[in-house]
Amino acid sequence: MFQLIYRKYGQGIRWKDDLLSGLTVALALVPEAVAFAFVAGVDPLVGLYAAFFVGLITAAIGGRPGMISGATGAMAVAMTALVTLYGLNYLLWAVIFAGVIQILAGVFKLGRFIRILPHPVMLGFVNGLAIVIGLAQFGQFKTNHRVEWLNSHGAEGFAVVGDWYSFGSAAFWTLALMIVGTMVLIHFLPKLTRAVPAPLVAIILATLVVAFTPVETKTVGDVLETQRVLQAEKQLKTAQFEEEMPTLQVSQLDERASAIAATPVSREELEAGLGREIKQGLQAGLPTFAIPAIDWSNSDALKAIGFLALTLASIGLIESLMTLSLIDELTETRGSTPRECVGQGVANVVTGFFGGMGGCAMIGQSMININSGGRGRLSGISAATFLLGFILFAPGLIEMIPIGALVGVMFMVVIATFEFSSLRLIGKVPGADIFVIVLVSGVTVFLHNLALGVGVGVAASALVYAWEHAKDLRLHRKEEANRFTYEVDGPLFFGSIREFKDLFNPAQDPDDVYLSFAKSKVCDHSAIEAIHAMGEKYRALGKRLHICDLSPACSKVLLKAGDIVEGQYYGKAPSEV
């Protein structure tokens, strides 16, 4: 079977490498899925189920062997508002519809547009994502987590906050030393042996140290328990405040919200107020198929679902296809973008019907997989399978893993992901490209919106390109015995029409002027309008402007314009305009 799996995807790939790499990735997937679930405002199992289904299906039928998919922070951030307003079932339908959009994008091969992304945008995307992943890890250096009312910069609401560890505390140094030890082991172990992935060895050793020595530090179980209780407290206090809001004056809102936030609530009171038991640990059963029940007559909710579906589909495709391109470069192989779009779409549709929050490619876990030796589809399939196995049969072992080890693994991912070579480009490439790199990274980091960062980067690159090429337009005058000709050299488009108009002198030109497009191209509507306007200037002076030497493509553009340009003749013969 393994020979069949690998027959198409390269030689020398051993199934053992993929299995061990998959095991490493599965261990790293657990805390990430839990954390992203809380970001989205849903139960951790919703994130874990998403990591299993999305990871399994995309690994099996997607377009990039070796790439890992699952619940991601970029998509989780976009989900929060809908979950808060309408609940989990509405989110599941948004995930399903997002999957349908992604399937259609694959069927119509829209993923090929990833090729128009400039390299500076790719660098900005990678660097920004690396910084976001790195900054997210510092949240583990906080303690004394609680729910507080925050009202600043135009945003207000209940949020989970914490206090930083004091620099001299034992908890700080234990966590820091475990992170550093993990990073050192991951860096130096491959120099001694590559028989097993270094991140897996580091995680196992750190877990054994915590389990069999007096060392005390945060574990996955501790974080899971704390996050669940705080999420439940946030939900209960938000509901209580919204119930009291109609009876309060505007001046009383902040004071009452702060009072609600400061009121201690026991676990029993939380469970009584929410009408359900707060789950403990990772114990779970197999995910079951169910059609999410929502109110289809609620037009506002349906609009919110549609908007979120489009947003999730866009974010998922951009992150997946850019990660695919990165893995292509690292492995010197080529993935299939249409197949990856379809794979991501099918995964999200299935995930939505099985209660998962959806997801896309994960650059961090993909880097762990590649660096650990995972290259084939078996690495992603085994990672998803191991993850489900942990949830079903060994949740206690996962809960024992120290957070410091996982943070160390992620910091090594950040180092491997960040393109340090981009720092050496300063002074060697155009300043506009450096600006685009910084711009994309900045938007990704500060707004936590990958799709927006990429979109802004593409727009900025396009504007720079238009500005630079607008200067390339030249007009050469040729005066022959019986003919006065302007030869246009360079593209005529919206960015160059002002230069085009300024190059003519209708008042001093003879009665018949010929405009040659042998070295130029009419690109858009702005160019058509500029030609028409220049023709009108000559007509007003009783003169004639003739267009000649049009290429077939330019003739087609002008032909489609209809009567926008009057009296037009297409071809190489001159015509009055």
User: Which of 106-115, 268-277, 378-387, 539-548 shows the lowest per-residue confidence on average (mean pLDDT)?
Assistant: 106-115
pTM: 0.75
pLDDT for the residue numbered 576: 40
pLDDT for the residue numbered 69: 94
Where exactly are the structural domains of the chain? 14-140+148-417, 471-564
User: Which of 12-26, 240-254, 286-300, 561-575 shows the lowest per-residue confidence on average (mean pLDDT)?
Assistant: 561-575
User: In Å, what is the CA distance from 493 to each residue of 52, 123, 474, 528, 558?
Assistant: 49, 29, 13, 9, 13
Bridge partner list, 151: 156
Q: How confident is the model at residue 155 (pLDDT cuts 50, 70, 90)?
A: low
| Residue of higher predicted confidence among 81 and 310 | 310
Alpha-carbon span 211 to 204, nearest angstrom? 10
High-pLDDT (> 90) share of the chain, %: 24
pLDDT for the residue numbered 3: 43
Residue 556 has pLDDT above 90, yes or no: no
Structure tokens at 67: 């790439």
Question: What average pLDDT does this structure show over 463-473?
Answer: 81
The segment with the largest mean pLDDT, out of 5-14, 467-476, 503-512, is: 503-512
pLDDT for the residue numbered 60: 94
Cβ atoms of 82 and 305 closer than 8 Å: yes
Contacts of 210 (CB under 8 A, 6+ apart): 216, 217, 219, 400, 402
pLDDT for the residue numbered 2: 39
Residue 356 has pLDDT above 80, yes or no: yes
Bridge partner list, 188: none
Alpha-carbon span 260 to 405, nearest angstrom? 36
DSSP string, 32-90: HHHHHHHHHTS-HHHHHHHHHHHHHHHHHHSS-TT--EE--HHHHHHHHHHHHHH-HHH
Q: Among 44, 36, 27, 49, which residue's Cα sits nearest to residue 286?
A: 49
Domain 471-564 matching CATH 3.30.750.24: the answer reads yes
pLDDT tens for each residue of 471-486 = 778 888 888 777 888 8
Three-state DSSP state, 401: coil
Residue 577 has pLDDT above 60, yes or no: no
Q: How confident is the model at residue 181 (pLDDT cuts 50, 70, 90)?
A: very high
pLDDT for the residue numbered 131: 87
Alpha-carbon span 71 to 66, nearest angstrom? 17
Residue 298 has pLDDT above 50, yes or no: yes
The segment with the largest mean pLDDT, out of 10-14, 401-405, 567-571, is: 401-405
Residue 495: what residue type?
Answer: G
